[in-house]
Amino acid sequence: MLIYAIHGLAQPTHKPVAAGAAADAGIGFANGVLAGLTGLPGFVITIWCQLRGWTKDLQRAVFQPVILAAIMVNAVSLGIAGTITAHILQLYLLGLPVMAAGLWLGFTLYGKLDEAAFRRLILVLLLLAGLGLIALRI
């Protein structure tokens, strides 16, 4: 993730990856495996949409439903496993207003970004997420 983000920021243009339905399905499977293992449902599919060179609208139309589906499957699985406790729900409710504010900001900014700015923003967010994961590991 870090290597892709750094490379993408250093190379503002790239040749889109030409791939078919089989590659898309393989990426979807890999995204699902990562989401199930780590609870991080969006990195693989977001990078793939960028590599495909799709417009920001098409990228969003692909990765948002995929991420939502992965989150729903994770939530249901965790619920069935009994790992969602009252304390976990309290933490979720505590974070809900901040998440709503982030969603509002994202929706507001999305309409103002051109294709290049959207790509850069996604790359910066991937870079920050990767650095955050490393910082949590240390």
Task: Delimit the domains of the chain by residue range.
Answer: 2-137
Task: Return left, alpha or beta for 82; rule: phi > 0 is left, psi -120 to 50 is alpha, else beta.
Answer: left
This prediction has a pTM of 0.83
Predicted confidence (pLDDT) at residue 83 exceeds the cutoff of 80: yes
Predicted confidence (pLDDT) at residue 15 exceeds the cutoff of 90: no
Predicted confidence (pLDDT) at residue 52 exceeds the cutoff of 70: yes
At residue 138, the pLDDT reads 66
CA distance 20 to 93: 41
Whole-angstrom CA distances from 133 to 13, 36, 43, 59, 64 are 27, 17, 12, 24, 21
